[in-house]
Chains A and B, each alone.
Chain A
Amino acid sequence: MLGKLDDFLRFNETALSLRSQRQTVIASNIANADTPGYKARDIDFSAALSSAMSNTNKDPLKTTAGKHYPAPPQDGKTLPDGTPLLYRGIVQGSVDGNTVDMDVERNQFADNALRYEAGVTLINSQIKGLLAAIQGGQ
């Protein structure tokens, strides 16, 4: 029974955990908006979520022929759960080597926060549904 409850809530729980980690990564970008040489980072949310849900195939994409597109450039840094930290594409480079674009970061930060709140609302309605089922509509 408890295992089924876990499975029922797992998707939204994993999504919330990844959202909060992405929020931290974007907050780090905003904090380092004036640090010379800092490169803005982000995670590929949908890839990270499907990898966390399947728990298999955490190897990055491999190229086996010369004409294959290479995987996005990265320095091997990952979040604690193994999600690769990618570099954000440069929109407008700056002289000091910093690639943080405040408009992009603020946009993504607000977007991610809203989706986090949506996740909380979803998990709440799941719990409400469970309670209704447990109490038999009393």
Chain B
Amino acid sequence: MSLFSIFNVSGSAMSAQAQRLNVVASNLANADSATSANGTAYRAKQVVFEATPSANNSSTGVKVQQVIEDPSPLKQVYDPKNPLADEKGYVSMPNVNVVDEMVNMLSASRSYQTNVETMNAAKSLLLKTLTIGQ
């Protein structure tokens, strides 16, 4: 019954989008974290999605293949009062682009909503199927 596999497909997409939203939340929360556990400024994190076709090709889910650190250079802010400032008075600040992250957040939440609706549609189709012969 292939309608049941829609729950797996949409569920995998929902968990992938939720992880993306989680990463966006981390990035926004740490947009000003000049230092972290390893002593350097926080680097923005991004998820990489990967399509996961089922064995018989009938459905394709999605998963987070890896979470990468944004390799773009850290922002240099002139702030000689900061204890983290180098000898020229610059502090390395996170390379989080707040506008990008807001766009990511909107995109992730819209995709999540769409998959919830997909799942609801599959559920109502299955319930309708159960009424055959009644």
Interface string of A94-131 (1 = CB under 8 A from B): 00000000100010011001001100100110010000
B133 to chain A, nearest CB (A): 5
Those of A74-92 within 8 Å (CB) of chain B: 77-80, 85
A121 to B111, CA, bound (A): 31
Chain B, interface SS category: helix
Q: Is A31 an interface residue (CB 8 A)?
A: yes
Contact B2 A21 (CB under 8 A): yes
The docked-state distance in angstroms from the alpha carbon of A23 to that of B125 is: 10
**B56–A30 CB distance below 8 A:** no
Q: For residue A36, which residues in chain B have a CB less than 8 angstroms away from its CB?
A: 48-49
Q: What B residues does A124 contact at CB under 8 A?
A: 131-134
* Number of residues from B at the complex interface, CB < 8 A: 38
Q: Is the CB of A28 within 8 A of B56?
A: no
B133 neighbours in A (Cβ, 8 Å): 124, 127
- Flag whether A48 is at the interface (Cβ < 8 A): no
Partner of A28, one of B1, B3, B59: B59
Besides the known contacts A20-B3, A109-B118, A124-B132, 6 further A-B residue pairs in the complex with CB atoms under 8 A apart: A20-B2, A24-B2, A33-B111, A36-B48, A79-B57, A127-B133
The 5 closest A-B pairs by CB, nearest first: A31-B13, A28-B60, A35-B49, A27-B6, A80-B56
Residues of A bordering B, CB below 8 Å: 16-17, 20-21, 23-25, 27-28, 30-38, 41, 77-80, 85, 102, 106, 109-110, 113, 116-117, 120, 123-124, 127
